[in-house]
């Protein structure tokens, strides 16, 4: 699939979301944050539009790719949009972000993010909610909230330590430490690092591979797996048994198993 030419602009409701650029190609939907002059910093309008897009993906979508327009993925919360809030208003603002990030983590299809330039603050929170993260060599990860007198509010304290560890996140927030792409990969903030300018192409390649999986299998990985990981082991294993039985009872799974047994499906290859 050619990342530059195969995608066609979205229509209908998704075409009306001016802070997002949304395109489709086959089973893949591509969504770009579209505030390049602001380094794709997230304001109230953008977070609402992102939520709308996640809830209204075309029925044909089997995988979603998210990237940023311009030189950066996302520089986090747009601080110019941050007015003085009461404690109650601050809680509601944070909870609103949680709703959107939950919609991303538990999206109806797997989500791959292509990261370049700034992946900072709320941008890192957004990336952490996705299922696969591809960074190019220009990407850098930061959590500057500590230097700005604020605290993460978009789900970062729950998700980022699961990727990089509490100690790493503590260091980043207390000292302002910034991780480059290679260290971000070592810490678990990205699963792939590619040359500059190639993150989107790699993300689309992975999304195309994911889209070929049985939809119920993808759903089990993105919906059940993170919940199982949060359960006590005995409860998690019981849920695993239920999910395994549901998945293998699916007609698509039965056909694919027969294809494998009859040597009609390709062998597992190294990526």
Q: Please indicate, yes or no, if residue 70 is contained in any of the structural domains.
A: yes
Phi first, then psi: give them for residue 233, nearest 5 degrees. Answer: -55, -45
Q: Please indicate, yes or no, if residue 134 is contained in any of the structural domains.
A: yes
pLDDT digits (tens, 9 = 90+) for 126-145: 999 999 999 999 999 999 98
For the domain that residue 110 is a member of, what is the CATH number? 3.90.226.10
Q: Please indicate, yes or no, if residue 1 is contained in any of the structural domains.
A: no
Distance separating alpha carbons of residues 125 and 129, to the nearest angstrom = 6
158, 96: one domain: yes
Q: Please indicate, yes or no, if residue 155 is contained in any of the structural domains.
A: yes
Q: Answer yes or no: 240 catalytic.
A: no
pLDDT digits (tens, 9 = 90+) for 140-153: 999 998 888 889 99
Q: Flag whether pLDDT at 244 surpasses 80.
A: yes
232, 100: one domain: no
Q: Answer yes or no: 183 catalytic.
A: no
Distance separating alpha carbons of residues 121 and 128, to the nearest angstrom = 11
* Range list of β-strands (E), 87-194: 111-115, 118-120, 132-136, 140-142, 179-180, 192-194
Q: What is the total count of domains within the chain? A: 2
Q: Please indicate, yes or no, if residue 131 is contained in any of the structural domains.
A: yes
Pairing of strands 132-136, 111-115: parallel
For the domain that residue 252 is a member of, what is the CATH number? 1.10.12.10
236, 119: one domain: no
Q: Flag whether pLDDT at 174 surpasses 70.
A: yes
**Looking at 44, 84, 89, 145, which residue is catalytic?**
145
pLDDT digits (tens, 9 = 90+) for 65-83: 999 999 999 999 987 766 6
Last residue of a domain, one of 188, 211, 234: 211
Measured in residues, the chain has a length of: 271
Sheet holding 179-180, edge to edge: 118-120, 140-142, 179-180
**Looking at 71, 84, 125, 251, which residue is catalytic?**
125
- Sequence-separated (6 or more) residues with CB below 8 Å from residue 76: 41, 42, 118, 120, 121, 122, 123, 124, 125, 144
Pairing of strands 8-9, 20-25: antiparallel
pLDDT of 80 = 75
pLDDT of 256 = 60
Domain boundaries, position 50: 8-211
Q: Flag whether pLDDT at 250 surpasses 70.
A: no
pLDDT digits (tens, 9 = 90+) for 6-26: 899 999 999 999 999 999 999
For 102, other C-beta atoms within 10 Å of its C-beta total 14
């Amino acid at each position: 699939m050619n990342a530059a030419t195969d995608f066609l602009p979205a229509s209908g409701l998704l075409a009306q979301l001016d802070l997002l650029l949304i395109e489709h190609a086959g089973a893949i939907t591509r969504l770009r944050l579209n505030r390049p002059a602001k380094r794709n910093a997230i304001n109230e309008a953008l977070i609402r539009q992102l939520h709308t897009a996640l809830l209204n993906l075309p029925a044909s979508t089997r995988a979603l790719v998210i990237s940023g327009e311009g030189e950066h993925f996302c520089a986090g919360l747009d601080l110019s949009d941050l007015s003085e809030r009461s404690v109650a208003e601050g809680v509601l603002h944070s909870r609103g972000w949680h709703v959107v990030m939950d919609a991303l983590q538990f999206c109806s299809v797997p989500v791959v993010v292509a990261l370049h330039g700034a992946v900072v603050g709320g941008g890192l929170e957004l990336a952490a909610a996705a299922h696969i993260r591809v960074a190019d060599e220009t990407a850098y990860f930061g959590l500057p909230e500590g230097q700005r007198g604020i605290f993460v509010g978009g789900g970062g304290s729950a998700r980022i330590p699961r990727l990089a560890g509490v100690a790493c996140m503590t260091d980043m927030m207390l000292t302002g430490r910034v991780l480059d792409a290679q260290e971000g990969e070592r810490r678990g903030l990205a699963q792939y690092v590619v040359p500059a300018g190639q993150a989107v192409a790699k993300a689309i390649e992975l999304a195309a591979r994911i889209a070929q999986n049985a939809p119920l299998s993808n759903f089990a990985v993105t919906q059940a797996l993170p919940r199982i990981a949060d359960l006590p082991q005995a409860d998690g294993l019981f849920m695993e048994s239920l999910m395994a039985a549901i998945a293998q009872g699916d007609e698509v799974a039965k056909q694919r198993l027969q294809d494998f047994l009859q040597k009609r499906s390709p062998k597992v290859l190294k990526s």
